[in-house]
Chain A
Amino acid sequence: MKKRDLSVIVAGVKFPNPVIAASGTYGFGENYATLYPMNILGGVSCKGLTLEKRDGNIPPRIAETPSGMLNSVGLQNPGIDFFIENHLPYMKEHGNVIIANIAGNTIEDYVEIAQKLDSTNVDMLEVNISCPNVKEGGMAWGVTANGAALVTKSVRAVTNKPIMIKLTPNVADVTEIAKAVEAEGADCVSLINTLLGMRIDIKTRRPILRNNVGGLSGAAVFPVAVRMVWQVANAVKIDVVGMGGISTAEDAVEMMLAGAKAVQIGTVIISDPYSPLKIIGGIEHYMNMNDVKNLTEVIGKVEKW
């Protein structure tokens, strides 16, 4: 079999392959090092970071759903300073493109975190305006075009790093939000974050999650994600990174056909730690079988009826 060039360029950053570990499912890259090197992945987006350390929500924080799961971690993380000092050097040493996922309660939080990261060697910022699991901030910024634009503008003003805005699917028209962040200088968008969901234990009559509601991810959300990525890719000129329920190489190719320049995988890693290898290998196999020399021949190439 021929070795193929799987590299893609997103927001000016070259990824050796289009598969990125999604924020929240790969920690800070060290947890799977015993199975395979982190640089198998094109990139890693780290666990969502806030200005101060956060404990997150009270457990239980996870529930099984048909073909997926709900989570309500609530951004447990060690804080931006700890990340820069203790996790970033390891990630840069062992990984390819390293993306810092950041979240704030206030605009000032986002700005301060972005400023701190601007002087590091992190490759890209992923600005999370879509976390459904925290009371203040998080998704509140991402559900209106004005809020999304304000965060983007404020972060853009303090960093030269490429910025990727992570969008929520919990809105009426995701293209409005995407256009708003594009207008304020976002280099690319990533979507979809999780869909708000709920499960109830019929014996105890209590929600399974202590937070009552949480974010739905996994194969169940994949068709919703493909649709939204396709809509956004057709609405903006900036690059789109697709995620949401990708479980196989075929799913990844489908997401790229919809318009994603790269893909993020998350829940499938929790199910199968070896899935990144299988998906990357499968994409190369698809390229061989279909004589694809470069993934630009696939990206956005769906022909709509």
Chain B
Amino acid sequence: MYKCGAYPVIEKTAISAGIYSYEILCPDVAELAKPGQFVHIKIDGFTLRRPISICEIDHKNGALRIVFEIRGQGTAKLTSLNIGDNLDMIAPLGNGFTIPDEIHPNRRVILVGGGIGVPPLLGIAKVMKESATAILGFRSYDKIILAGDFKRADSHVITCTDDGSVGFKGTVTVKLAEELQKGDVDMVYSCGPEPMLKAVIAECEKSGVPCEVSLEERMGCGVGACYVCSCRISKNNTEFMGRVCKEGPVFNGKEVML
């Protein structure tokens, strides 16, 4: 179930160089949306829509928040939309993260995000509150986004930077391994660059903790009709090409073949 229509932008912020946060008033979409799903945005003058993951779902006010980075001409054009302008989108799309109905007080989940892969994890942090440990990796201090939002959602936040300008100097997987060793982890959720996802999946395999990863691929229709955004999946010993827009973007870490 998804909607297709024009919805007003009600909040716009540049949260870092080239990274924007929009809030969109869309009660019928917000009602359906789950963390890890995405919206597919039409941009004036471009044939292809741009898929952008949902960062936060505000059920009370019927709004969604998206955070995206300028990657090319399309996303650059998207930043010309201002508060009050309508955003044409198909949403919510895809399968989101599996969120447990309840979590034992002594158990927790780990969120591992890299760069612009961080936003879709905030929705889980909001649900899991203090049961979530968020390991967030960025190139340097000036690239950090949403760390404060995760703290306000009561996550235990571990920031990593490649250059050590803030937090731990090194990759998120080093910190993930440490956290997994402490035990008590029910699930790991991850989104970020492919090499990072591979490393996260490998760490989870080692400690036998299930993980879900959110993938990105150049996309066509966004609803499963065009078979453009395929990725190789292995499920119950059979390999097939799954659609990132339909079977994904969130996949079981054991099933994706990166």
Contact = CB atoms under 8 A, between A and B. Distances in A.
Interface stretch (A58-66, A103-111, A293-301): A58-66
Interface majority SS (helix, strand, loop, mixed), chain A: loop
A59 B231 CA distance: 7
Contacts, number: 91
B67 to A, nearest CB: 22
Nearest to A77: B227
A274 B225 contact: no
Contact of B47 (A35, A55, A73, A218): A218
Contact of A24 (B2, B47, B219, B226): B226
Which of under 10, 10 to 19, 20 to 34, or 35 or more describes the interface residues of A? Answer: 35 or more
A47 B48 CA distance: 19
Nearest to A69: B47
B48 A273 contact: no
Interface stretch (A121-129, A187-195, A227-235, A263-271): A263-271
Given A35-B4, A59-B218, A62-B218, A27 B224 contact: yes
B48 A64 contact: yes
A34 interface: yes
B42 A73 contact: no
Given A55-B240, A59-B230, A270 B1 contact: no
Contact of A32 (B74, B217, B219, B225): B225
Interface in B48-62: 48-49
Interface string A41-76: 000000100000001100111111101110101001
A85 interface: no
B59 to A, nearest CB: 21
Contacts of A204: none
Given A34-B2, A61-B218, A271 B224 contact: no
Contacts of B1: 34
Contacts of A34: 1-2
A76 B225 contact: no
Interface string B189-223: 00000000000000000000000000001111101
Contacts of B74: 64
B241 interface: yes
A272 interface: yes
B240 to A, nearest CB: 7
Interface in B31-48: 42, 46-48
Given A24-B226, A31-B225, A270 B218 contact: no
Chain B binding surface, main DSSP class: loop
A222 interface: no
A32 B2 CA distance: 9
A71 to B, nearest CB: 6
A15 interface: no
A279 to B, nearest CB: 16
B109 interface: no
Given A34-B2, A55-B241, A62-B218, A73 B226 contact: yes
A128 B42 CA distance: 30
B217 A60 contact: yes
A60 B218 contact: yes
B225 A62 contact: no
Contacts of B2: 34
The 4 A-B pairs of least Cβ separation, nearest first, read: A27-B225, A31-B225, A60-B218, A62-B228
Interface of A: 24-27, 31-32, 34-35, 47, 55-56, 59-65, 67-69, 71, 73, 76-77, 208, 218-219, 267, 269-274
Interface of B: 1-2, 4, 42, 46-49, 74, 90, 217-221, 223-232, 240-241, 246
16 contacts: A25-B225, A25-B226, A32-B225, A34-B2, A35-B4, A55-B241, A56-B241, A59-B217, A61-B228, A61-B229, A62-B219, A64-B46, A71-B228, A219-B47, A269-B221, A273-B223
Given A25-B221, A35-B4, A270-B48, 17 more contacts: A27-B224, A55-B241, A56-B227, A56-B230, A61-B228, A62-B220, A65-B47, A67-B47, A69-B47, A69-B48, A71-B228, A76-B227, A76-B241, A269-B225, A270-B49, A271-B48, A273-B90
